[in-house]
Protein backbone atom coordinates (compact mmCIF):
# COMPACT_ATOMS: atom_id res chain seq x y z
CA UNK A 1 0.00 0.00 0.00
CA UNK A 2 2.85 2.36 0.74
CA UNK A 3 4.80 1.61 -2.41
CA UNK A 4 2.04 2.77 -4.85
CA UNK A 5 1.56 5.93 -2.79
CA UNK A 6 5.27 6.74 -2.87
CA UNK A 7 5.49 6.07 -6.61
CA UNK A 8 2.48 8.32 -7.34
CA UNK A 9 3.95 11.13 -5.24
CA UNK A 10 7.25 10.90 -7.11
CA UNK A 11 5.46 10.94 -10.47
CA UNK A 12 3.38 13.98 -9.43
CA UNK A 13 6.47 15.91 -8.39
CA UNK A 14 8.19 15.09 -11.70
CA UNK A 15 5.15 16.21 -13.71
CA UNK A 16 4.79 19.45 -11.72
CA UNK A 17 8.48 20.35 -12.03
CA UNK A 18 8.51 19.59 -15.77
CA UNK A 19 5.34 21.62 -16.37
CA UNK A 20 7.10 24.86 -15.52
CA UNK A 21 6.14 26.84 -18.61
CA UNK A 22 8.36 29.27 -20.40
CA UNK A 23 6.93 32.72 -21.03
CA UNK A 24 7.48 34.33 -24.43
CA UNK A 25 7.41 38.03 -25.27
CA UNK A 26 6.89 39.58 -28.69
CA UNK A 27 5.88 42.90 -30.24
CA UNK A 28 3.23 42.98 -32.97
CA UNK A 29 3.18 45.25 -36.08
CA UNK A 30 1.35 48.00 -34.08
CA UNK A 31 4.06 48.09 -31.42
CA UNK A 32 1.92 46.38 -28.78
CA UNK A 33 3.79 44.01 -26.43
CA UNK A 34 2.32 40.53 -25.92
CA UNK A 35 3.13 37.68 -23.53
CA UNK A 36 2.22 34.02 -23.97
CA UNK A 37 3.22 30.52 -22.95
CA UNK A 38 3.30 29.42 -26.61
CA UNK A 39 6.29 30.28 -28.80
CA UNK A 40 5.58 32.59 -31.76
CA UNK A 41 7.60 33.99 -34.62
CA UNK A 42 10.07 36.67 -33.40
CA UNK A 43 9.23 35.80 -29.74
CA UNK A 44 11.93 35.75 -27.12
CA UNK A 45 11.89 33.77 -23.87
CA UNK A 46 11.50 35.85 -20.69
CA UNK A 47 13.40 34.93 -17.53
CA UNK A 48 10.80 35.54 -14.80
CA UNK A 49 13.10 34.88 -11.87
CA UNK A 50 15.18 37.97 -12.62
CA UNK A 51 12.22 40.24 -13.30
CA UNK A 52 9.98 39.44 -10.33
CA UNK A 53 12.07 40.72 -7.47
CA UNK A 54 10.30 43.36 -5.39
CA UNK A 55 12.06 46.02 -3.43
CA UNK A 56 10.54 48.41 -0.93
CA UNK A 57 12.12 51.53 0.45
CA UNK A 58 10.82 53.06 3.65
CA UNK A 59 11.63 56.59 4.68
CA UNK A 60 12.06 57.04 8.40
CA UNK A 61 10.52 60.30 9.62
CA UNK A 62 12.91 62.74 11.19
CA UNK A 63 12.50 63.92 14.75
CA UNK A 64 11.19 67.31 13.63
CA UNK A 65 8.33 65.68 11.65
CA UNK A 66 7.36 63.57 14.64
CA UNK A 67 7.59 66.57 16.98
CA UNK A 68 5.39 68.70 14.67
CA UNK A 69 2.67 66.03 14.62
CA UNK A 70 2.74 65.54 18.38
CA UNK A 71 3.02 69.27 19.11
CA UNK A 72 -0.45 69.95 17.67
CA UNK A 73 -2.90 68.10 19.92
CA UNK A 74 -6.48 67.80 18.75
CA UNK A 75 -8.93 69.73 20.88
CA UNK A 76 -12.24 67.91 21.18
CA UNK A 77 -15.49 69.63 22.06
CA UNK A 78 -18.74 68.08 23.21
CA UNK A 79 -22.12 69.66 23.83
CA UNK A 80 -25.61 68.52 24.73
CA UNK A 81 -28.04 69.15 21.89
CA UNK A 82 -31.21 67.83 23.54
CA UNK A 83 -32.81 68.45 26.03
CA UNK A 84 -32.40 72.21 26.09
CA UNK A 85 -31.28 74.24 29.11
CA UNK A 86 -33.93 74.29 31.88
CA UNK A 87 -36.33 72.20 29.80
CA UNK A 88 -39.25 70.63 31.63
CA UNK A 89 -39.72 66.97 30.76
CA UNK A 90 -43.02 65.34 31.68
CA UNK A 91 -42.75 61.57 31.87
CA UNK A 92 -44.29 59.41 34.58
CA UNK A 93 -41.73 56.62 34.11
CA UNK A 94 -38.78 59.03 34.29
CA UNK A 95 -37.65 58.29 30.72
CA UNK A 96 -36.07 60.78 28.32
CA UNK A 97 -33.39 60.95 25.63
CA UNK A 98 -30.13 62.90 25.75
CA UNK A 99 -28.47 63.75 22.44
CA UNK A 100 -24.86 64.97 22.37
CA UNK A 101 -22.62 66.27 19.61
CA UNK A 102 -18.81 65.96 19.46
CA UNK A 103 -16.41 67.83 17.20
CA UNK A 104 -14.22 66.91 15.45
CA UNK A 105 -15.51 63.40 14.76
CA UNK A 106 -14.26 60.98 17.39
CA UNK A 107 -11.80 58.31 16.29
CA UNK A 108 -12.58 54.66 16.91
CA UNK A 109 -12.08 53.68 20.53
CA UNK A 110 -13.17 56.98 22.09
CA UNK A 111 -16.33 56.84 24.19
CA UNK A 112 -19.04 59.20 25.42
CA UNK A 113 -20.26 59.06 29.00
CA UNK A 114 -23.39 60.64 30.46
CA UNK A 115 -23.33 61.96 34.01
CA UNK A 116 -26.58 62.78 35.80
CA UNK A 117 -26.02 64.85 38.95
CA UNK A 118 -22.26 64.00 38.79
CA UNK A 119 -22.97 60.22 38.78
CA UNK A 120 -22.09 58.10 35.72
CA UNK A 121 -25.29 56.86 34.08
CA UNK A 122 -24.78 53.43 32.48
CA UNK A 123 -21.61 52.48 30.63
CA UNK A 124 -19.62 54.80 28.36
CA UNK A 125 -20.62 54.22 24.73
CA UNK A 126 -19.63 55.16 21.20
CA UNK A 127 -23.10 56.51 20.35
CA UNK A 128 -24.03 60.12 21.09
CA UNK A 129 -27.64 59.21 21.93
CA UNK A 130 -28.44 58.17 25.49
CA UNK A 131 -31.82 56.62 26.36
CA UNK A 132 -32.32 57.45 30.02
CA UNK A 133 -34.84 55.47 32.05
CA UNK A 134 -36.30 55.51 35.56
CA UNK A 135 -34.95 58.83 36.78
CA UNK A 136 -36.72 60.32 39.78
CA UNK A 137 -38.59 63.57 39.38
CA UNK A 138 -36.96 66.84 40.21
CA UNK A 139 -34.09 69.04 39.04
CA UNK A 140 -31.14 67.28 37.41
CA UNK A 141 -27.82 68.38 35.89
CA UNK A 142 -26.60 66.54 32.79
CA UNK A 143 -22.98 66.44 31.58
CA UNK A 144 -21.50 64.44 28.68
CA UNK A 145 -17.78 63.64 28.66
CA UNK A 146 -15.47 62.25 25.97
CA UNK A 147 -13.30 59.46 27.37
CA UNK A 148 -10.39 57.42 26.07
CA UNK A 149 -10.54 53.66 26.56
CA UNK A 150 -8.40 53.95 29.69
CA UNK A 151 -10.84 56.50 31.19
CA UNK A 152 -8.96 59.76 30.57
CA UNK A 153 -11.36 62.70 30.07
CA UNK A 154 -10.64 64.57 26.83
CA UNK A 155 -13.57 66.99 26.89
CA UNK A 156 -16.63 67.76 28.95
CA UNK A 157 -19.84 69.58 28.07
CA UNK A 158 -21.20 72.38 30.16
CA UNK A 159 -23.82 71.31 32.68
CA UNK A 160 -27.37 71.22 31.36
CA UNK A 161 -30.15 71.71 33.95
CA UNK A 162 -33.46 69.96 33.32
CA UNK A 163 -36.64 69.47 35.33
CA UNK A 164 -38.37 66.10 35.32
CA UNK A 165 -42.05 66.16 36.23
CA UNK A 166 -44.07 63.07 37.15
CA UNK A 167 -47.61 62.81 38.35
CA UNK A 168 -48.00 61.73 41.92
CA UNK A 169 -50.67 59.78 43.69
CA UNK A 170 -50.47 62.45 46.37
CA UNK A 171 -51.57 65.12 43.89
CA UNK A 172 -55.00 63.71 43.10
CA UNK A 173 -57.35 66.19 41.57
CA UNK A 174 -59.73 67.41 44.23
CA UNK A 175 -63.37 67.71 43.41
CA UNK A 176 -64.63 71.22 43.36
CA UNK A 177 -67.77 71.84 45.42
CA UNK A 178 -70.88 72.74 43.47
CA UNK A 179 -72.92 75.57 44.68
Domains of the chain: 77-169 (2.60.40.10)
Q: 111 Cβ partners below 8 Å, 6+ apart?
A: 124, 125, 126, 146, 147, 148, 149
Residue 68 has pLDDT above 80, yes or no: no
Mean pLDDT of 103-115: 88
- Tell the burial category of 23 from Cβ atoms under 10 Å away from its Cβ (0-12, 13-18, 19+): middle
**From start to end of 73-168, where are the E strands?**
77-82, 87-90, 96-103, 111-116, 119-125, 129-132, 138-147, 153-156, 160-165
Query: What does the pLDDT average to over 126-137?
Result: 89
Residue 83 to residue 90: CA distance in whole angstroms: 12
> What percent of the chain has pLDDT above 90?
21
What's this model's pTM, rounded to 2 decimal places? 0.54
Say whether 160 sits in a helix, a strand or coil.
strand
For range 128-155, the mean pLDDT: 89
Amino acid sequence: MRLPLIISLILCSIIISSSHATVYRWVDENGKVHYSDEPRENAEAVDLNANTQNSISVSIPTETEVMKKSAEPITYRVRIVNPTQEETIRNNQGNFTVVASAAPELPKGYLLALYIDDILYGQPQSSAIFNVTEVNRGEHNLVVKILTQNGKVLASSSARKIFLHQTSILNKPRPTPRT
